[in-house]
Every structure is written in structure tokens, then in C-alpha cells.
Amino acid sequence: MTAITAVRLTPVNVARTTGLVCGHVIVELEADDGCTGIGEMSDFQHLPRFHPDVGDLTGTLQSMLAGTDPWATNRISQLLDEAFPSAGSLYDKGAVIRCGIDTALWDLRGKMSGRSVSSLLGGAVRTELPVAYPVFRQRARGDVEENLERVAGRLDEGFTMFRVYVGGDLELDELFLRSLRTRFGDRIEIKSLDFSNLLHGTAALRFIERTRDIGYALVEAPARAGDVAGLAEVRRRGLVPVSEHVYDAASALRLVSERAVDVLNVGLFALGGITPALQVIAIAEAAGLDCLIGTTQELSIGTAAAAHLGVATGCVTVASDPVGPLLYRSDVVERPVTYSGGALQPPSGPGLGLELDPERLREVAGPLRWERGATTAIVDRVGSTS
């Protein structure tokens, strides 16, 4: 029996183009056959505002996993769930930890067998994963023109689908949306307005009613976190399909049973990796719902995992969200994932199809940290101000 021999965790700090420095942990799982699987815990820069002790976490995972058969999926999932139970929150840092290990295990199994992760998942049903490029919230009037220019640049690169964050300053949000449609017309598609659970359902409904003429395919998280009744009310009255993130199978079942959504947002970071995501996908398929692959905007390792899952899943029919490698100033792999014509290309080769670049990894390695600045900078994914 092949067994895991070592767990190595490397904390890294990588800046986004917005200036926000995000903390990730790169996972390496070594096996006694010489193979090493890589994963990514991303990103820890969400609230609540703390980071794990990476040294202590390494020791914990080493004691849990050393000597374990990497193919023992059920046993390892049970161990991870017991050690890092779901907190019932979208930004559960225990789920981020589980995700990094689970991703590395799928990569390790692929490398051991010479098969891609999408092949291990049953085979690709599409060749690429269409994605929507994110436009972050308007915080000042100057952001409106800057974001319009950002859209113009991405349009030139082949992106025609965009996801717009709203829910902060609603007047600026509407100004941007109308300016976006006036300037670009039907050259672009607005996949969704992402409310990020910032508004009560009634407030989101009022905004939807006054902007529905702009044209967007769906609304995301248009109620406070956990307010399933609010989501259901928006779905009934808003006349626009509703999507919401899920953080475990139980939350997916509740959304389905209360007819609160049309689309399940399957984010590996929120669920704890590919293995628990498969449970949610099964629920969606049984309920006849569509899915999209969500993101916290990972580096290439986490993005590749999303790509392999997305291309191997039939019900992922809505444009997905992982564009992290385009939002960061550096990466940790030899060849970052690529995009073409507004779609994410799953890397070829065994496992995730990626290899770490030791030099790139050293350049960004260092203790996880928080920069000084307002909490709103974290929520809005922009650089902090001291």
C-alpha cells in the first residue's frame, strides 16, 4: 500500500492588482512512491480577521495523515471533518484548510495513476470552463470610470461576461450599471449582481426592481447570510433567477427544500474541497438545479481544481467565477493556468497538471499577516489604507 509520508505547508502572501495582500497556504503531500500532490488553502484574508498558526497546523495534519493510504477518500474525509468541522459560514477557515488538503489528495491520486483530476471525476463533459470577470464594488465616483476602463480592457482580451459586486453605495452601483450598458451595449453580458449578503432581502428587491431593465442573468446572495426566507422572497418577487453559495450539504438541502434558489454556487473553499463538492452537486442534479463553480479567487492551484471539477460536471451550466490568477501579481507554479475567449482552460497532464516553481514560491513565502486598514477594505477586496 502506498502511504502519505509527509505534510508540508508553506504560507505565502501575494498581492492582488487592487493592492490587497492575500494570505494563502501551499500544501504538499508526499507519498512513499515518490509522488507529491499539491494543494492550496485560499485565501485567508476574509473575515474573521485572524490567521491560523501554520506550524501548529502542520504538526496536526502530519499526525493525522502520515501512514494513510491517499486513496482512502472516505476515511480521510471523516478525519478532516472531525478535526475541522463546518462552522456553518461561507468564510469558514476550517473549510479552507480542508480544501487545501483535499485538493492535494486529488492531485496526488492523479499523479500516482497518471490520470487528470477531471478523468478521476468521470471524464470531461466540456473542454473548458466559461467564466465571468468580476467588477468590484464602487466605493467612490472615481471608481465608476476606472471600472469601465477595466471592463474595456478585459473585453479586448476576449471576456464578454461580467459579474458586478453591488450592495455598498447603491446610487454608485446603479450609475455604474447604467454607464456599463450605455457604453458597451450588447457587446457584454452581465452574468450577475453579487450582493454578497450585504443587504436585507427587501432592500435588494427594491434595487432589483429599479435596475432590472439594465439586463442581467441572475442575482447572487440578495439577502443576509442565512436568511433563506429572504432569498425565497427575492426569488418569488424579483423576476430574476437567484444564486447562493453553499457551505455544506445541509445548507444545499435547505436552499433546495425551501425553493430559495435557482442556482447553487459551489465554491471549493467554502465546502472543503472537491470531495464534499460532489455531494452538493448530487443534490443539485437530483433537484434539477444548475450550478456554477464559485471562488474566493485562488492562485493557479486552487483555480485548476475548480477547472477540473467544472469541466467534469454536467450541471455546471452557468458561467463560473474563478479568475484569481488574473487578479494576482504573482503565482507559485511553473505555468499558471490560462484563459482563452473568456474561458478557463483546465491544465493537461496527471493530477491538476501543475508543478510548483520553487523560486516563485520562495519569493512570496512568509508568515501570514494582516495589514493595517479598515475592515471594509477586506470586504471589498481592495488595498488597505493605513
Active-site residues: which are they?
Answer: 91, 165
CA dist 200 to 48, 67, 197, Å? 21, 49, 8
For residue 15, the SS3 value is strand
Of the candidates 189, 143, 142, the one whose C-alpha atom is nearest the C-alpha of residue 166 is 143
Q: Which three cell numbers stand for residue 95?
A: 473549510
Amino acid at 279: Q
